[in-house]
Structure 1
Amino acid sequence: MRNNFPVNLRQLVHHLSGTSRAAEALGINRQQLNKYLSGLTMPSLATLQGITAHLGLQPDDLLLPPGQFLARWRPPVKVDGLPPQIQEVFGVLLENMAQTRDTLAQFCGHYHVYTSLPTNPKRIGRAYAAISQHGDLTTVKMVMFATNRGETPESRPPTKVTGLVQWLGERIYINGVQNVGQTNARLYSIALYPPAVPSMPYLTGMLMTSNNARTRPIYALPIVFDRLAGKASRRADLQACGVFYKDDPRLDPGALALLDGQQPLW
């Protein structure tokens, strides 16, 4: 196991852009890091815990055979052609997604998403969302209908949003794009709090976006993700989306209470 440590550590240093950057990132002296890399000495348990905590690993992980270690730790993806500072930002975001993958796994599933409508306070929009994982990435796909529930005429096709999901500071962040590749594309930013009680099906937070019309500014609205039963998507759940009046009995009363502020959003 002792011989595995320097081999695995060299993998980490390579993806931290060299010895100097790695020493700074891991909070250890460069000369000491070189001794670890050469196998001359082993770190104390406290130092080993500090190194692995920075990388989202357990101390024992660095002692695994190299093949098992690489299966446990996935090197962060790099985006070529970017300035160093921007590359570092992307690296941190991608590394965060890899390290928090297991945390986000508990939120994967299918949801009805409730938002109020800034253009009509008496009505509620209910969309459909699926959160899933692909390798280290956690993604969301949303489908929204601007028509009354059940009405999907060809003149008003559904709006589709695709985005990335991250876990930062005990919160879920979603950054997505509506109508990717089209002239009317726009950004969505959503911040969600996990439920205080694990058995509750709701994620609550805020949505920030804008309408395409120049006269309509950026706005922020409360948003509620209501988790649906089952692991597979169902056509009935999708067909239950659209625009409703607030007193429509088909809406979930718990989600409405959270949305209307009758219960705290966080």
Structure 2
Amino acid sequence: MNEDFAQNLRLLCSYYKSISEVTQRLGISRPQFNRYLSGKHKPAANTLRRICEFFDVAEHELHLPHSQFERLVQVSPRQVTHTDESIELDHLNQLQQKSSPELEKYLGYYFEYYYSMGNPGKILRSLVCLEKQGEKVVFQRTERLIEGKEKWDKEVCHCKYLGIAYYLSDRIFMMDYESLTFNEITQTIMFPTFKNRISWLHGLRLGVSASDERMPTSSRVLMEYLGTNINLRKALAMCRFYEPHDKDIDEAIQEMINNQGPNEHWNFRAKA
């Protein structure tokens, strides 16, 4: 049964330029994929679904006797095209292959702090969740914005950013987009921690203000690790704008996200 599966998979790969092209576009390492081609291992369920979607075959078809599968493919030849979508996925899959598995150490929930780009002078605390989906580490950043000063006049607005994270050469790269309005892409680069216990991660964020001005802005950012199991309702209730020097924001955090003061460098830099 494994041999039929392996032969069928090798036949599908023959419609492409190389095995490397297939593995890059699938986001699966070459050694791992070679084990499937040899018939020594069967892919996990989620990986098998990705393979079937990529080659446009049903899961049960891949397990057919090879002679029967070969006739099926001959009747419905594979259409190998490089669409705009596949080109984009090629780039992302190459990044995924280079990303270090050390990123899994950072899975969990974080409070995130930085000076708001749309509300100058206000510290924004938001909630970030990094989790693994298949071979990739993805994340969601939720901002809770409160409009109005009086209790009866307050209106809560939530912004949800979805993104993907990579660990490349001792830096954590996080790219996301605003998933409700699709009007912003943000990049955050964080220093990893080399301690056994994660407390804080800090770095820089590049984005645009949410105001009509839409000014490109860079700001220092800090992420405070909360753990892998938290009270979401309570955590989200703590996400809002804060005034500078607010006692609810640790002084060390305020110092790390401070964008003011003397700067002896030519560029705006994160505080190492």
Range into which the TM-score falls when normalised by the shorter chain: 0.5 to 0.7
Residue 175 of structure 1: aligned partner: 175
Cα-Cα RMSD: 4.4
Match of 1:55 among 29, 32, 35: 29
Contact kept? 2:130, 2:137, Cα under 8 Å: yes
Alpha-carbon distance change, 242 to 111 in structure 1, aligned in 2, over 3 angstroms? same
Distance 1:121 1:211, change over 3 A: closer
Partners of 1:157 and 1:264 lie apart in 2 by 29
Q: Is the 8 A contact 2:142 2:159 kept in 1?
A: yes
Q: Secondary structure at the match of 1:70?
A: coil
Matches within 5 A, 1:35-74: 55=29, 57=31, 62=35, 66-68=39-41, 70-71=43-44, 74=47
User: Cα 1:219–1:171, aligned 2, differ >3 Å: closer, same or farther?
Assistant: same
User: How far does residue 69 in structure 1 lie from its aligned partner after superposition?
Assistant: 6.0
Alignment match, 1:190:
188
Once residues 146 and 135 of structure 1 are traced to their aligned partners in structure 2, the CA distance between those partners, rounded to angstroms, is: 32
User: 1:139 maps to which residue?
Assistant: 138
Match of 1:208 in 2: 206
CA contact (8 A) 1:78 1:91 kept: no
Aligned equivalents of 2:153, 2:159: Cα separation in 1: 13
Gap runs ≥5 in structure 1: 27-53
- In 2, distance between residues paired with 1:186 and 1:246? 26
Identity %: 13
Residue 125 of structure 2: aligned partner: 126
Partner Cα distance (1:246, 1:123) in 2:
7
Aligned-partner residue type, residue 108 of structure 1: L
Provide the residue aligned with 1:258 in structure 2: 256
Deviation at 1:206, TM superposition (A): 1.5
How many residues of Structure 1 are paired with residues of Structure 2 in the alignment?
230
Distance 1:264 1:126 in 2: 18
Greater shift, 65-74 or 202-211, is seen at 65-74
The CA distance in 1 between the partners of 2:10 and 2:111, in whole Å, is 40
Q: 1:10 to 1:137 in 2, by over 3 A?
A: same
Aligned counterparts of 1:152 and 1:62: Cα–Cα separation in 2 = 63
